[in-house]
Amino acid sequence: MTNNDHEPTTTKGFRVDSGHVVGDVFEDGEAAVIDLRNGVYFSLNSTGALLWPLLVEGTTVDALVARVLSSTDQVSSVVPAIESFVAALVAAQLIEEVDDVDAGMVERVAPAGQQPFVAPELERFDDLQDLLLLDPIHDVSDRGWPETPPV
C-alpha cells in the first residue's frame, strides 16, 4: 500500500498493454476491453471497471486492493480476488508487468462509497472476433489511417 507520508512511491506493477488493448468504462459501471490483435473482447463487471482506470495508468496489486477496500467494508476475500483478477488479465495478455509505476495513484481516485464486495470478473467473448479483425484499422501504418503498411 502507500506510505504514511502520502508521497507516491514507485515499484513493480501492472499496466494495460496499450499497444494492442483498448477499453472503456461505461456509465452503468461496467467496462469493455478489446484485444485488437485477435479480435477478442472482454467485459468487466463493476469491480473490474472500478480498477480499469488504475490499470490504464499503471498500478500495483496493493493499490488495486486499497482502491477496493476504500469502497467496501468486507476485507476477507478482497486480496485473493484481486490477485486472481490480475492473473486473469495477464493470462489474457491485456496487462503487462512493468517497473516504476506510481504506487500512490490510488489516493488520487475518488472513493465510490461503501458497497458490498463483488469479486472483479473478466468475461471473454469470441463471437465478434471475425468482424473486429476485418476492421481496416488493423491495416494501417504507424502514420495512421488511411496510410497502409508496405506490402
Weakest-pLDDT range from 7-11, 32-36, 74-78: 7-11
If you average pLDDT over residues 144-151, what whole number do you get? 57
- The CA-based angle 56-89-28, given to 5 degrees, is 60
Higher pLDDT among residues 54 and 8, named by residue: 54
Is 52 or 112 the better-scoring residue by pLDDT? 52
Asked whether residue 148 carries a pLDDT value surpassing 60, the answer given is: no
Instruction: Spell out the domains of the chain, with CATH numbers in brackets.
Output: 10-108+117-130 (3.90.930.60)
The helix or strand, by DSSP H or E, that contains position 13, with its residue range, turns out to be: strand 10-16
Which residue in the block uniquely carries the three cell numbers 491485456?
A: 94
104-133 pLDDT, tens digit per residue, is 554 444 455 667 788 999 999 877 656 655
